[in-house]
Structure 1
Amino acid sequence: MGKVGETTLFLDLNALEHNFAYLRSKIAPSTKFLGVVKAFAYGSDMVAIAKKLELLGADYLAVAYVIEGVLLRNAGIKTPILVLHPLASNFEEMIDRCLEPSLYSQNILTQFLEAARAKKQVAYPVHIKFNTGLNRLGFKENEIGFIAERLKTSPEAKVVSVFSHLAASEDPNERAFSLNQIDTFKKCSDVLAQKLGYASIRHMLNTSGIINYASEAQFEMVRSGIGLYGYGNDALIDPNLRPVATLKTIISQIHEIGDGETVGYNRAFKTGGTTKTATLPIGHADGIGRQYGKGKASVLINGKEAPLIGNVCMDMIMVDVTGVDCEEGDKVLVFGPQRSAENFASGAGTISYEILTAISQRVKRIVIDH
């Protein structure tokens, strides 16, 4: 996929379209779809991904922080944008850019209403988040009275959605817990609608939720993040999805190192015989953290595994290419459709989300859409 003369992240928007269609096939045609594009669209290219999702008909987009939503508005994105973790210091800019806040606590709700009143807003769209067991952000069930009382007396805002987040939707062993979360959410949304005098869009399912709980809890909208980028948190689902991002680099230099010599900082790798190594122009400043060193991960060179050796440097990694037919300038695959980010990450005891979102903005991006 593409010519490699430097470390490059290739982004296949055709894969994104495939993933969107697959996830949509799991829900009713009338159910709305929210695409999560936070963290530079899971480490890819937020603007390119958002524009494609807009063309594909996504009903909503979601970001974590206001600064991300501003970036999308500056790029011309018109689709409604939910800000999942707004902070009071950004409320004025949020309103100016027509970004919609998740209100998750009494303090945030009160401060947002004050900001909306100061900006002379009427029925500004807001989203109420309930904490049903993840215990990260969200109102508890016993706070519904407060929410309703404040909103019924505040014409500045109107609830357009009520939502929550499953804690373990990918784990079949936690099905009872997930179903209890869904039941709690139904109660909360029903009571709030009754007290407000109107119903709102409800959404609770993330990617794994869409796969595992569509019959129980798709409500009026679902949300997907990691699934859009090609990962389903399930080995049985992953073949139905296509990774959007492919990270490639090249071999900068090859060394023949004698028996008993060492490689890299702190002499972290010691040869046990004559060893051929390759140095690659990618390091922890590019998102390949030190946890991947010392043989915890490997790359593919001409179809063969080449484990990382020694400590990962800021701008370089060294890999063992003993027995690999390769030359300086050859292409190197870090992750992509042929070898997933989940596979790369698992050796270091982490997940696809971490390696994807860690890819530095200094890494060149090439968008493919044809």
Structure 2
Amino acid sequence: MSRSILTIDSKALEFNIKSLSKFSKKPVIAVVKSDAYGVGVKHIAKILEGIKEVEFFAVACVEEGLELRELGIKKPILILGGVLKGEEKAIKEYSLTPVVSHPEHLKPLEGLNVPIHVKYDTGMGRLGFLEEIIDDPRVEGVLTHLSSPAEEEFSKKQIEKFKNILKHYKNVKYVHLESSAGVIYKVPYATHIRVGLAIYGEKPLSNYPVQLTQVLSLKARLISVKRLPKGYSISYSRTYKLERDALVGVIAFGYADGMMKSLSNRGKVYYKGKALDIIGNVTMDMTMVDLTGTDAKVGDWVEIVGPHQSFTDLAKMAGTIPYEIMCNLSRRIKREVL
């Protein structure tokens, strides 16, 4: 019996894809890099492959592209992180589409008849050409990356700058720049949206206009429940002392599983709908909670993410972003698809 389970609602995943596509009036490039943001690409990709609104997959590197092909994925796969010398054979053999964002990315592709997408840096300061136009008949797509979609003025400058670059590409089939947060701009000249976080029902902006439903729920078992007296110290470094007699539970889920250590003495989880304070330092395999006022017993499940809080909520308490928590989800967590 598993001590922790991440449940994936396939119907909710499909609903979110269709909702994002309907809102933007564009088909979807589904970003499934980093093991589908830690959720489990072998589960997620197979669901997405069967959704008609998903026309492309996108991953960070060639190895991730190979994994998708080995899982039986037939749809086009973008390699967002470029191509390096030695990777060209796999690009051709597995029908992967490299994103070229530096002159060095073009060198391994010399003489190789594969489609490419060209990326421009319009304000992200990361990957992308600044102004150089790639005059290559293999170019089928052009893209950029919005660095701060919540900043409307700067994002609109990026959108306009990219529009001017596109004037040099008359016959490209694919144009994409709208991320999960960026879909709010409904860029008229873009052909696709390129989304990751939002497909799981995690809203990237507080006033997000797209209707989403929660895809993921995460729970873990209690492996200890005991009464401790007032003044008793909890966990490493004794950062928490009980202010009253309390029922203390130990969840089989720690920072090795994805519970951020920054949630020590500040995070919450839920038992039968009741909020429980995380007390003491989160440890590698275990997290302590105050169960006072509950009838909890060893073996019971505690909700970490679910109806009462999302990964986004958890991230706010941890002082980070949901991506970081999700990408740190351990492989020892059982994945279960509904």
Normalising by the residue count of structure 1, what TM-score does the alignment of the two structures yield? Answer: 0.86
Report the Cα distance in structure 2 between the residues aligned to 1:348 and 1:8, rounded to whole angstroms: 21
1:135 is aligned, of 125, 130, 135, to 125
* 1:312 positional shift: 1.2
1:37 and 1:20 map into 2 onto residues whose CA distance is 13
Contact 1:302 1:325 (C-alpha < 8 Å) held by counterparts: no
Worse-matched range after superposition: 334-343 or 280-289: 334-343
Structure-2 change in CA distance of 1:336 and 1:94 (3 Å): farther
Which letter does structure 2 place at the counterpart of 1:350? T
Runs of 5+ in structure 2 lacking a partner?
none
Looking at structure 2, the residues matched to 206 and 125 of structure 1 have their Cα atoms a distance apart, in angstroms, of 22
Q: Which structure 2 residues correspond to residues 178-193 of structure 1 after superposition, within 5 A?
A: 178-191=155-168, 193=169
Secondary structure of 2:289's counterpart equals: strand
Q: CA deviation at 1:24?
A: 1.2
Matched, 1:265 2:236: yes
The CA distance in 2 between the partners of 1:291 and 1:70, in whole Å, is 35
Q: Say if 2:7 is the partner of 1:27.
A: no
User: Is 1:199 aligned to residue 172 of structure 2?
Assistant: yes
More helix by share: 1
Q: Which structure 2 residues correspond to residues 325-336 of structure 1 after superposition, within 5 A? A: 325-336=295-306
Residue of structure 1 in register with 2:272 after alignment? 302
What is the deviation of 1:217? 4.0
Cα 1:270–1:238, aligned 2, differ >3 Å: closer, same or farther? farther
Cα separation, 2, equivalents of 1:63 and 1:260? 50
- Cα distance in 2, alignment partners of residues 218 and 42 from structure 1: 28
Once residues 302 and 309 of structure 1 are traced to their aligned partners in structure 2, the CA distance between those partners, rounded to angstroms, is 19
Distance 1:342 1:76 in 2: 31
Matching of residue 227 in structure 1 with residue 198 in structure 2 = yes
Alpha-carbon shift at residue 337 of structure 1 (Å): 3.5
1:125 pairs with one of 112, 115, 128: 115
Cα RMSD over matched residues?
1.8
Residues 231 and 238, structure 1, Cα contact 8 Å, conserved in 2: no
Q: Does 1:96 align with 2:69?
A: no
One-letter amino acid matched to 1:346: K
Is the CA contact (8 Å cut-off) linking 1:251 and 1:330 kept in structure 2? yes
Task: Tell me if 1:78 matches 2:66.
Answer: no
Measured against aligned partners, the alpha-carbon deviations of 1:122-145 in whole angstroms (never above 9, x if no partner) come to 2x111100000011111001x22x
Q: Is the 1:66–1:90 Cα contact (8 Å) retained in structure 2?
A: yes
TM-superposed deviation, 1:315: 0.8
Structure 1 residue 218 displacement after superposition: 5.5
**How many residues align structurally?**
336
Matched residue of 1:186: which SS?
helix
The answer to whether the Cα contact below 8 Å between 2:122 and 2:162 also exists between their aligned partners in 1 is yes
1:187-235 Cα shifts (integer Å, max 9, x gaps): 11212x15xxx3341111111221x111x34511111111111122123
**Is contact 1:205–1:218 with CA below 8 Å preserved after alignment?**
no
Contact 1:103–1:129, Cα closer than 8 Å, also in 2: yes
The whole-number CA distance in structure 2 between the counterparts of 1:179 and 1:41 is 29
Q: In the TM superposition, what whole-angstrom CA distance separates every residue of 1:75-134 from its partner, at most 9, and x where no partner exists?
A: 11000000111341433323221111111111222x2324xx3xxx32x11110000001
Q: Give the TM-score, by structure 2 length.
A: 0.94
Of 337-346 and 249-258, the range deviating more from structure 2 = 337-346
Distance across 1 between alignment mates of 2:328 and 2:286: 16
Q: 1:277 offset after TM fit, Å?
A: 0.8
- Counterpart position of 2:329: 359
Aligned to 1:10: 7
Secondary structure (helix, strand or coil) at the match of 2:50 reads helix
Alpha-carbon offset, residue 239 of structure 1: 8.1
% identical equivalent positions = 35
How far apart in 2 are the matches of 1:338 and 1:273?
26
- Quote how far apart the aligned CAs of 1:259 are: 2.0
Kept after mapping to 2: 8 A contact 1:27/1:218: no
Query: Which residue number corresponds to residue 208 of structure 1?
Result: 181
- In structure 2, what is the equivalent of residue 155 of structure 1? none
Q: Secondary structure at the match of 1:285?
A: coil
